[in-house]
Amino acid sequence: MTARSGRSLRIFFAAAICAAFAASPRAGLAGEEDDLQREIDNQRVSVADLERLDELKATGDEITLLRSWLDEAWSLRSKHEYDQVREVLERTRKQADLIRAKITASKLRAQAATRENALADVRAKIARNKKALAETMKKKKALEGTEKVGDKGSTQ
């Protein structure tokens, strides 16, 4: 190997290493941007799922707030403010958890109200049956009293 080709080879390797170092942060940023974009898209899909789960419409305001935060995250991502995007995404995760909890609570509240109404109906039916039973018992005693009087009158 000649001195000139050895020097050219070293310059080539040095240039390749410099190019790799120069390109790697941008490649890392592009990967980070893609990851954040994927996360925003996934959360937008989960918002639609949350709306579907909210049959009683108990979390309309919270879902609207969640959508606005996802729009904010998208805006920040397009401005390349990735740290702020991560903060907003963390906030949206917590908001989604809150929405799930509220949906569950509203469903349980509705179920409890239904069961309380059914219990009130059963109690009313029991009260009617008790009243009917008491009236029947009175009639029975009255009939037994008249039969005894009739029996005593016929034996004399």
Q: Give the tens place of pLDDT for each residue, 1-14.
A: 565 666 676 776 66
- pTM beyond 0.85, yes or no: no
Domain ranges of the chain: 34-141
Q: Give the tens place of pLDDT for each residue, 47-78.
A: 999 999 999 999 999 999 999 999 999 999 99
Dist. CA 39–CA 36, nearest whole Å: 5
Please say if the pLDDT value at position 27 is more than 50: no
Q: Give the tens place of pLDDT for each residue, 89-105.
A: 999 999 999 999 999 99
Contact present, 96 and 46 (Cβ < 8 Å):
yes
Contact present, 58 and 102 (Cβ < 8 Å):
yes
Q: Give the tens place of pLDDT for each residue, 117-153.
A: 999 999 999 999 999 999 999 999 999 888 776 666 5
Contact present, 73 and 89 (Cβ < 8 Å):
yes
Tell me what pLDDT residue 9 has. 64
